[in-house]
Amino acid sequence: MSHYAKGAAFERQLRDLLRAKGLVVVRSASSGVDGVSPDLVVLSSRKKFAVECKAWQHGPSIEKPKIEIMREWQRGAGVPVYVAWKAPRKEWKFFPLDALRETGMACVIGDKDWGMGLTLEEVLK
């Protein structure tokens, strides 16, 4: 299975989890290719946010230009954008964009940052 296919499968997994919680979820196909929108836009009458999904064994690294696009999207749409990280055999954790650390050409979430991520229940409060 290609890297893209694996990523798309995890995006669909999170989409289905959010839908099971009663939320409306729009998946932006090819968001990783066009780089101008988050992977998922999540809506309900009381909650609105967007998600950039990462299913990596170790803490994800996202190029700075992609993070800046997400920050612009967050400002323009007026909704928070989270990086959702799914590590093997663990639940999804959600990180606000400001929680990422800048290093060289990328913004990262380190393995040791796992515990600082929000659970889905915390995001939905």
Which are the catalytic amino acids? 31
| Inter-residue contact 124 to 84 (CB < 8 Å) | no
| Nearest CA-CA partner of 11 in 44, 41, 35 | 41
Report which secondary-structure segment, H or E, holds 16: helix 3-20
> With the CA atoms of 108, 112, 116 and 122 taken in that order, what torsion angle do they form, in degrees rounded to the nearest 10?
90
DSSP 118: B
